[in-house]
Amino acid sequence: MKNKQVMKIKSAVLLSALMLPCVGASAQIRVNQVGMNPHQEKVATIEGVADVSHVKIVDAKGKTVNVQPKMLRIAKSPWSDKERTVVDFSELTQPGRYMLKYGKQTSPAFTIQENALEDVTKAAIKAFYLIRSGMPIEKQYAGKFARPLGHPDTKVLVHPSAVSEGRPAGTVISSPGGWYDAGDYNKYIVNSAFSIGIMLGSYEMNKARFDAIKLNIPESNNRTADLLDELMYNLKWMLTMQDPADGGVYHKLTTPNFEGFIMPTDCKQQRYVVQKSTTATLDFAAVMAQAARIYRQNADYPDFSRQAEEAAKKAYEWAKQHPRQFYEQDRMNKEFQPAVSTGTYGDGNADDEWFWAATELYFLTKDGQYADVAKQYQPRYVSTPTWGMVSTLGVFDWLTHEANAEMSKQFRTQLLAFCDRILATTTTSCFQTPSGNNPRDYAWGCLAEKFCGDGVMLLYAHQLTKDKKYMKGALQNVEYVLGRNATGYCYVTGFGTKRVMHPHHRVSEADGIAEPMPGLLAGGPNPGQQDLGSGLKYPSKQPDESFIDDMGSYASNEIAINWNATLVALLGGVE
Ligand code: 9MR
Ligand code: 9MR
């Protein structure tokens, strides 16, 4: 195997040396465009087969630096004929601004400095403030992204699918605040719970780091970490989504149809809370229990912990009474009016939600009945955390808190096996990443739901073992998101040279400002291309190139809280 690979590389180098001018002119160089720390691994990928001895590094003055990039490999795409040259220039440690050059081709400029990812980390958290609903976003915090209050949500109607004793159809309730879910203006419990859950987990693991992050948000002057203040804004909204009569939680707060690409203040459609669901209610129970534990004795929110604990227990009891009340929008629309066509977050299996909820209630109360239920729903394998697969959020707790030795041991073995398996693919990968080497890795939201989610898994593996290879893998996935990838985009708005300018995000489109709101992660390459109907023309059908920076592309270029949350969880932990 090894010898063959060396042979292949040698002949490839020879061949390309002959063809240099031609290859050079068509080559493109992909690199993390945001920044690298002085002593981290530094890698770039050149499209095509390149002669590495002709790759140069130039500094800001255009002077060639005395560090020669080295060949890592010629990598072949696992699903196409494309070949790419992966080069290593880790020896460049001097802080500064640089570019790689190969023939006529130059890479985007990049920076080497200490704390290179600090700004993007802050921006990814601050984005949650910018997408708050139900309050004016003020200039002193948001600069040009300030906007007046929209969607007060103080007169929301109970949809006929959601009636209960004391709340007949059409009852007016107040459910203000929280974050807009994504490119659309609705607020969904399943996704809110996941977003807070993964960020609270990261907060617990990286407390000192998050405590030091100042975001300049309205709560910045209190004693609580700004991240926790930001999460509280959405937690408070979530509490209003529980029916006080029975503890069930409405699946979402929504307009019947998606609004147009207009500003919040111009939105006039009536909003409703719709059907309570088992999955939303269990996710709510989980995250309220987790938050009750983490905000316990928080002086800025003295009543919250008690309230959240009570809400979590009530929700859990409701779910016990309604174990199969799944959210099925089409079926609901046959029975109730108005019909609803917005996001579904549909999920017909609540085993993972049971596991997460029981786990969090156990760690909050230490009551053995919850541990028994967690045991009963113990997942058979660990998988990348996503809104539809939340068991891993519970797994993280069993791994990091002294608890059940047997379960913790099984999860540890499974987590390390998962991480070792993906790390093994790095050594042949086109972009020197553990994720993205399988065509199935590319789907709706994959930058978060695969690259960042796997990165978070690697962070937990690092936490458990202190083995640096896991930390290295987590950072490699970050660098994919920041530009070392097949399209060459830095996928976080406001960052990079080749940046996303037209996300599927109503406020960013309608606010009249040329740039989108900063700090938002795009969904990313998605060969499903489910939005083709709207006349979009993707540049490629390749899994890793199925991306278009077009406002109409909700299947590849939308933004969403669960995606930013997973990015934050990853950035908060990478070194
Ligand atoms: O804007 C909507 C986005 O938030 C959703 O993720 C997406 C898929 O459900 O739908 C978007 O709305 C589109 C709708 O589905 C079809 N008509 C065009 C809408 C705006 O592009
Ligand atoms: O993230 C969701 C993805 O897994 C689904 O495939 C997709 C289509 O149902 O919907 C995504 O969630 C969208 C939600 O339904 C509405 N708000 C925008 C979300 C991100 O596109």
Report residue 10's pLDDT band, with 50, 70 and 90 as the boundaries. very low
Give mean pLDDT, residues 495-516.
Answer: 97
Q: Using an 8 Å Cβ cutoff, are 399 and 409 in contact? A: no
What is the per-residue burial (b if ≥16 Cβ within 10 Å, else e) of 89-118? Answer: beebeeeeebbbbbbebebbebebeeebbe
Q: Is the pLDDT higher at 4 or at 481?
A: 481
Tokens of 490: 């830095």
| pLDDT tier at 515, thresholds 50, 70, 90 | very high
User: Which position among 47, 51, 181, 184 bears the catalytic label?
Assistant: 184
User: How far is residue 433's CA from residue 429's CA, in Å, rounded to a whole number?
Assistant: 6
Per-residue pLDDT, averaged over 164-178, amounts to: 97
In ligand 1, which atom is closest to the CA atom of 342?
9
CA 184 / ligand 1 centre spacing (Å): 8
Predicted local distance difference test score (pLDDT) of residue 4: 39
State the burial class of residue 201 (Cβ atoms within 10 Å of its Cβ: 0-12, 13-18, 19+). buried
Whether pLDDT at 7 is above 90: no
Q: Where are the alpha helices (DSSP H) in 223-376?
A: 226-239, 278-294, 304-321, 329-335, 351-365, 368-376
Distance between Cα 141 and ligand 2 center (Å) = 29
Task: Name the CATH superfamily, with its identifier, for domain 35-116.
Answer: Immunoglobulins (2.60.40.10)
Closest ligand by atom to 562 CA = 2
Give residue ranges with CB within 6 A of ligand 1: 182-184, 258, 343, 552, 554, 558
> What separation in Å is there between the alpha carbon of 258 and the centre of ligand 1?
7
Instruction: Give the least confident one: 3-17, 50-64, 268-282.
Output: 3-17
Q: Are 312 and 350 in contact (CB under 8 A)?
A: no
Please, are residues 109 and 99 in contact by the beta-carbon 8 Å criterion? yes
Q: What is the reported pLDDT for 534?
A: 82
Round to the nearest angstrom and report the end-to-end CA distance of the chain. Answer: 33
- Given 259, 352, 544, 558, the catalytic residue: 558
Residue 9: pLDDT over 60: no
- The model's confidence at residue 533, banded by pLDDT at 50, 70 and 90, is confident
Atom number of ligand 1 nearest to Cα 182: 4
**What is the CATH topology of the domain spanning 118-478+560-574?**
Glycosyltransferase (1.50.10)
Q: For residue 322, give both structure tokens.
A: 């309604």
How many other CB atoms are there within 10 angstroms of residue 77's CB atom? 17
Q: Domain locations in the chain?
A: 35-116, 118-478+560-574
Residues 537, 173 contacting (CB under 8 angstroms): no
For strand 83-88 and strand 105-106, is the pairing parallel, antiparallel, or unpaired? unpaired
**What would the pLDDT profile of 204-227 be if each residue is shown by its tens digit?**
999 999 999 999 999 999 999 999
Q: Is the CB of 563 under 6 A from ligand 2?
A: no
Question: How far is residue 530's CA from residue 544's CA, in Å, rounded to a whole number?
Answer: 15
What's the gap in Å between 257 CA and the centre of ligand 1?
Answer: 9
DSSP 448: I
Sole residue written with tokens 């239920």: 373
Task: Note the pLDDT of residue 402.
Answer: 73
Q: What share of the chain is helix, strand, coil (3-state, %, to 5)?
A: 45, 15, 45
Rounded to 5 degrees, φ, ψ at 428 are -120, 5
According to the model, what pLDDT value does residue 405 have?
Answer: 79
Q: Select the more confidently predicted residue: 575 or 384.
A: 384
Which of 252, 534, 554, 562 has the most ligand 1 atoms within 8 A of CB, as the residue to mutate? 554
Sheet holding 83-88, edge to edge: 29-30, 43-47, 83-88, 70-76
Residues 379, 376: Cα–Cα separation, whole Å:
9
- pLDDT at site 6: 39
Rounded to whole angstroms, how far apart are CA atoms 557 and 550? 7
Q: Choose between 94 and 2: higher pLDDT.
A: 94
Nearest bound ligand to CA 347?
2
The H or E element containing residue 11 is helix 2-18
DSSP 198-239: HHHHHHHHTHHHHHT-----TTTTSSS-HHHHHHHHHHHHHH
Q: Report, as an integer, the average pLDDT of 546-568.
A: 98
* Pocket probe mutation, ligand 2, options 133, 191, 452, max atoms within 8 Å of Cβ: 191
Annotation marks residue 204 as catalytic: no
What does 496-543 look like in DSSP terms, one character per residue?
Answer: SSSB----B-HHHHHT--SSPPTTPBP----TT-TTGGGT---S--SG
Task: Say if residue 5's pLDDT is above 60.
Answer: no
pLDDT tens-place string over residues 452-479: 999 999 999 999 999 999 999 999 999 9
| Ligand 2 in reach of 181 Cβ (< 6 A) | yes
* pLDDT score at 19: 37
Q: Kindly report the CA angle at 37 between 28 and 420, in degrees rounded to 5?
A: 80
The structure tokens listed for 262 are: 């207009």
The preferred substitution site among 195, 345, 507 for testing ligand 2, maximizing ligand atoms within 8 Å of CB, is 345
549 classed as catalytic: yes
**pLDDT tens readout for residues 107-155:** 999 999 999 999 999 999 999 999 999 999 999 999 999 999 999 999 9
Catalytic residue among 246, 504, 511, 550: 504
- pLDDT band at residue 11 under the 50/70/90 scheme: very low
Which pLDDT score, from 0 to 100, does residue 13 have? 40
- The percentage of residues in the chain with a pLDDT greater than 70, rounded to a whole number, is 95
